[in-house]
Amino acid sequence: MQVTFNANYFPTEGAIVVPIFEGNDFTAPANQINEKTGGAISRAVEHSSFTGKSGDLLDIYAPTGLNLSRIILIGLGKKEDATEKSVSEIGTKLATKISYGPESSITVLFNNINLDNMKNHELAVHFSVGALLRSYRFNKYKTQLKEAQKKKINEFMVIVDQPQAADEFFHRYSSIVEGVFFARNLMCEPPNVLHPKSMAKELAELSNLGVKVDIINEKDMEKLGMNAILAVGKGSECESQLVVMQWNGGTDHEAPLAFVGKGVTFDTGGISLKPPPKMDEMKYDMGGAAAVAGLMKSLAGRKAKVNVVGVVGLVENMPDAAAYRPGDIIKTLSGQTIEVLNTDAEGRVVLADALWYTQSKFSPKFMIDLATLTGSMVVALGNKYAGMFSNDESLVHKLFQSGQETGEHVWQMPMDDRYDKDIDSKIADVKNTGANGAGSITAAHFLKRFTNNVPWAHLDIAGTAWTDEPNPYSGTLPTGFGVRLLDHFIHKYYEK
């Protein structure tokens, strides 16, 4: 779907979208179209339950006086309530509706609409971004698409007071959308196609945007002493990869912000094999790495004025004669030893080396890792919030705030030495599972031991990276969770 902003334009085909405030308070375009149609809008709202509440929708088919298939009334809510998030979510609702409608051309009338705390062009852009994000499809493996699935919106025209202001404001967001779609595309790919090497190859394409991409292969890892990542990948036919992506849009010598992603391209559990139900979903176990890659794409696409490094550990966790076992002890890059009690707790083992490498190589301002790390996170917070664990209250505040503003919510979870004790091993430094519940928290404490006390936050996105319950922005496809959150976080707090 392509979004264009225009002024002084009236469509001759397709559907027209007309916003109305809560309490059926007509906007300027609503009055204009109502007049053109001999009062069709007044009559329609009178005879329906439409009230103009945020996200309300109502169809008026084949309106007299217009050569259009329908008018779609859309509720904008109260003038004083609009936020980036609320307006985007109204856009997602329209996108869902038009995706199964007959029209391929949509015109949204935002001209002469003014809100209390949002400019006309901002309203138009936030709305369009929501619609764009929700329009995402992944049909590349469908060879027999039904007519309805083939349908595309060829024209999504948004009428605004100042198209140029809208275009300029849209620039950053269209780059974010590219980043989100990149993350989702990587996640949708099946695990026989997307494995550590092919994923590394996809990430290497970011160099076209000016991202410096370095790939550390197994031979390099052996030299460096990354035995934790190597251990997890041992049972796989595919070679493990550590991919380092650098975007240097800031000033020289300025310490970078670091983002680290868990990239398990498929997690069978290894020798501690998972049960069959929903095991296919473990192709999404690279969602943290996908989010980091999507973030890099967004930052580079919009030439963000900031230095950022993204590091992702890509492995496949398989059962095999060569696989690592429960009972194994691994010497990590940090020098600390891990006793493996469960090969299915592999994400933290991969991140142990990735985190240590990141802080020692780049001396970043802080590190934020994203990982589909624990099933217990899904039990605790479901798909509405990601769990946030941190040793730095300022990061916690900024991330929480960014979550509230983008709709990619994060909720702080406790960290406490009493949980840390749970992962002391009898014969090594640390074991990879605790035994007293709180699985997400002990996993976070495990990671903390590999941060070298650099300011750090861990986002457990196990519940938010994809959802069974339809998500406003992505339906039941992967969300790309983290890209919008972190682009916002960087833009708001770290870009000059």
Q: Which of 274, 303, 331, 365 is catalytic?
A: 274
From the list Mn ion, ligand BES, Zn ion, none, which binds 77 (C-beta under 5 to 8 Å, kind-based)?
none
Residue 283's identity, in one-letter code, is K
Residues 6 or more apart in contact with residue 189 via CB below 8 angstroms: 283
- Identity of the residue, 180 or 373, whose beta carbon is nearer to ligand BES in the bound complex: 373
Q: Which stretch binds ligand BES (CB under 6 A): 177-185, 225-233, 342-350, 388-396?
A: 342-350
Give CA separation, 321 vs 180, 241, 275, in Å.
38, 21, 19
DSSP SS3 for 187: helix
* Residue of minimal Cβ distance to Mn ion: 344
462 binds, among ligand BES, Zn ion, Mn ion, none (CB under 5 to 8 A by kind): ligand BES
Q: Is 285 in the site for Zn ion (CB under 5 A)?
A: yes
Per CB under 6 A, the list member of 37, 99, 332, 376 interacting with ligand BES is: 376
Crossing angle of the two packed helices 120-134 and 163-188, in degrees rounded to 10: 20
Q: Which does 433 bind (CB under 5 to 8 A by kind): Zn ion, ligand BES, Mn ion, none?
A: ligand BES
**Total chain residues near Zn ion (CB under 5 A):** 4
Distances 41 to 23, 66, 73 between C-alpha atoms, Å:
14, 13, 8
Residue 349 contacts ligand BES per CB under 6 A: no
Binding positions for Mn ion, rule: CB under 5 A: 267, 344, 346
Q: According to the binding rule CB under 6 A, does residue 336 interact with ligand BES? A: no
In the complex with Zn ion, which residue's Cβ is closer, 285 or 408?
285
Q: Which residue in the block uniquely carries the two structure tokens 């035994």?
A: 435
Q: How far is the CB of 447 from ligand BES (least distance, A)?
A: 13
Nearer to Zn ion, 267 or 408 (CB): 267
What distance in Å separates the CA atoms of residue 432 and residue 21, rounded to the nearest whole number? 54
Among residues 84, 89, 178, 267, the one that binds Zn ion under rule CB under 5 A: 267
Cα 344 versus chain centre, distance: 24
CA 221, CA 213: separation in Å to the nearest integer? 16
Q: How far is the CB of 199 from Mn ion (least distance, A)?
A: 17
Query: For Zn ion, which is the closer residue by CB, 73 or 290?
Result: 290
CA-to-CA separations, 178 to 285, 297, 301, 303, 490, in angstroms, rounded: 21, 7, 8, 13, 17
Distance CA 451, CA 319 (A): 29
Q: Which of 134, 297, 348, 398 is catalytic?
A: 348
- 303 carries an active-site annotation: no
Judged on CB neighbours under 10 Å (0-12, 13-18, 19+), 195 is buried
Q: Which one among 69, 374, 467, 471 touches ligand BES, defined by CB under 6 A?
A: 374
**Measuring CA to CA, how many Å separate 160 from each of 96, 98, 193?**
22, 20, 43
Interface with ligand BES includes 315 (CB under 6 A)?
A: no
Q: Which residues are catalytic?
A: 274, 348
Q: Which residues bind ligand BES (CB under 6 A)?
A: 267, 285, 342, 344-347, 372-376, 378, 433, 439, 462
